[in-house]
Chain A
Amino acid sequence: DVKVTQSSRYLVKRTGEKVFLECVQDMDHENMFWYRQDPGLGLRLIYFSYDVKMKEKGDIPEGYSVSREKKERFSLILESTSTNQTSMYLCASSANIRTGGFDQPQHFGDGTRLSIL
């Protein structure tokens, strides 16, 4: 089974702090994704990556950056946190369409609930 591991389940930070959220997958997937989930808004895509050192903006990239130095690891960086970044952050991975076809499910970690005070 695919395992996607997020480094923390819960984090509490103060406004203005720099935060790193780490995600590791063990299935050699090319694609990795970061979402945030808020009540009434569903899942919104922040950034995704098709390959090492590649990144693409999602729907709400403002205030975030990402890093993908190794295939199995995708980090989400909040450079200077604000209270409106309090949310549940979910990481996911999937196989590439070149190797697995268009119909690839995404595999999710258990999420990091981040609170910014």
Chain B
Amino acid sequence: SQQGEEDPQALSIQEGENATMNCSYKTSINNLQWYRQNSGRGLVHLILIRSNEREKHSGRLRVTLDTSKKSSSLLITASRAADTASYFCATGQGAQKLVFGQGTRLTINP
């Protein structure tokens, strides 16, 4: 079953702008992860935030987690053409399994 749901399904912005993607989930989690997938390739892990954390940064990426609202957001600042990809959230629920959302397709226009 797919738990994470990303919003929006597609996002198109100009290079240099910030991109924000959201993820909602339904059950309790022990961590939430974001992945990127370039067209025709596998997923690449970007960042992991634990259930007891509220915010995490990695380079131009900022992830927030609100467990009371069961939601997370991924912010990419100063976007670049190379950021064009699909972005997925995945929830870890106490075992090795992850449950992935359907992804947000991000397009950065030059």
Q: How many residues of B contact A (CB 8 A)?
A: 27
Residue ID in chain A nearest B96 by CB atoms: A31
Residue B19 at the chain A interface, CB threshold 8 Å: no
Interface string of B42-53 (1 = CB under 8 A from A): 111100101000
Interface string of B84-97 (1 = CB under 8 A from A): 00001010101111
Contact call B96/A50, Cβ cutoff below 8 A: yes
- For residues 97 through 117 of chain A, which have their beta carbon under 8 Å from a beta carbon of chain B? 97, 102-111, 113
Q: How many residues of A contact B (CB 8 A)?
A: 30
Known: A102-B92, A103-B31. Is A42-B45 also a contact (CB below 8 A)? no
Residues of B within 8 A of A31 (CB): 96
- For residues 50 through 92 of chain B, which have their beta carbon under 8 Å from a beta carbon of chain A? 50, 88, 90, 92
Q: How far is the CB of B109 from chain A (nearest CB, A)?
A: 22
Q: How far is the CB of B86 from chain A (nearest CB, A)?
A: 10
- Interface of A toward B, CB cutoff 8 Å: 4, 31, 33, 35, 40-45, 48, 50, 58-59, 90, 92, 94, 96-97, 102-111, 113
26 A-B contacts, Cβ less than 8 Å apart?
A: A4-B42, A31-B96, A35-B100, A42-B102, A43-B43, A43-B88, A43-B100, A45-B97, A48-B96, A50-B96, A90-B43, A92-B42, A92-B43, A97-B96, A102-B30, A102-B31, A102-B94, A103-B48, A103-B92, A105-B33, A105-B45, A105-B48, A106-B43, A110-B41, A110-B42, A111-B42
